[in-house]
Structures are given as C-alpha cells and as structure tokens.
Amino acid sequence: MTTKTTQGAAPGDLARLWELGAGGELPEERRYADHIAAELLRERLDSPLPMDPAQSDSLLVMVGGASVGLLPLAGRSLREVLLDPHTGMAAIQPIKDYAKQLARRHRTGPEHEAAIGIYYTALAGALVYRGEKITAHGYDYLRDSFEQLLSKPWLPPEVAELFRRARQVCSDRAE
C-alpha cells in the first residue's frame, strides 16, 4: 500500500493543482483568456456594420432577411448602434440574433464570451432604451445574468453602465 502525501509541496502549488484537478484554469490562463475576450469584444463592437450585404460571414449575411433594419445604419460601429438610445428594434433584434448565432458557433472560450457580450448588450439596450424584453428569459434570470456579466474584467465601461441600468430595470420588473 502506498501512502499519499502532500509533504513538501508549497500551498500555492497545491491550490493550483486543486484548481486544475477541479477543471479550473490557472490564474495566468484566466487573465489571458479575459484579455482575448476583451480584445474580441472591442474589435467586434468597434467594427462598422457592413455596407455591402454580400460580405461573407458578416452580420448582414448571418441574419439574412432580418437585416433590412440594419441597412440605414451601415457604416456605424456596432458599439454606436447598440449604445444609441434612438436605435430601433428593427436593428436591435437582428444584432441580438447574430450574437446568439455567434455564441452557438463558439460554445466556449473568448469568442463565446465576446458573442455573449454583444447578445446581452442588445438585450440591455432593448430593455433600457425601448422598454422591451426581447428574450424568453425572465426578469430574474436577466437580472442575475447582468449581475454576473458585471463582474467580467473584459466588459467595456459604457457597456457595464448599460448593464447596470438593465439590471435595475429587471429588478424593478421581477416577480
């Protein structure tokens, strides 16, 4: 019979080993993944809506016929569109659908987190600026989701502010 021991191991090494054994990431790996998620989200939010619907893998192509509401906004960045209180539902809905498709395509990792960031930014904009809930999720679920997202270090400050406002709307309307 062998005796199992941790004698001689530093507490930090044991903690890292425990975290890895539990399926977690090393703190350095998490920071790197957060950095990549932040860069991807920034890049997607800052890129202009395509002016040519024939662009491959573009927002307009992915949402197909629902993109009619986006055509007048072509050339503006996704950030501008989503954070503009005057953006109509004809633009917000296809962006939400696009982000949902993107999140499904990338099930994990920084690409998924960036897509989720866009998805919830569209949901938050609809709630805060239009007073509309454009998801089947309940207000309690949305409030908790916005709360969880607010803890992410990759969230741009202006998106975080929108999420705070959306969280309050959800709190006010929760059952």
Per-residue pLDDT of the chain (175 residues), as tens digits, is 545 555 555 555 545 444 544 555 557 887 888 899 999 999 999 988 765 555 434 554 444 444 556 656 677 888 999 999 999 898 898 889 889 988 999 989 899 999 999 999 999 999 999 999 999 999 999 999 999 999 999 999 999 999 999 999 999 998 6
* Greatest extent of the chain over all pairs of C-alpha atoms, in Å: 74
SS3 call for 167:
helix
Q: Are 124 and 146 in contact (CB under 8 A)?
A: yes
Q: What is the pLDDT of residues 106-122, one digit of tens each?
A: 989 899 999 999 999 99
Q: Model-level pTM?
A: 0.77
Q: What is the pLDDT of residues 17-32, one digit of tens each?
A: 445 445 555 578 878 8
Domain boundaries, the chain: 13-173
For residue 128, give Cα distances in angstroms to 38, 173, 175: 23, 12, 18
Q: Are 88 and 126 in contact (CB under 8 A)?
A: no
Q: How far apart are the first and last CA of the chain?
A: 58
Tokens of 91: 């633009």
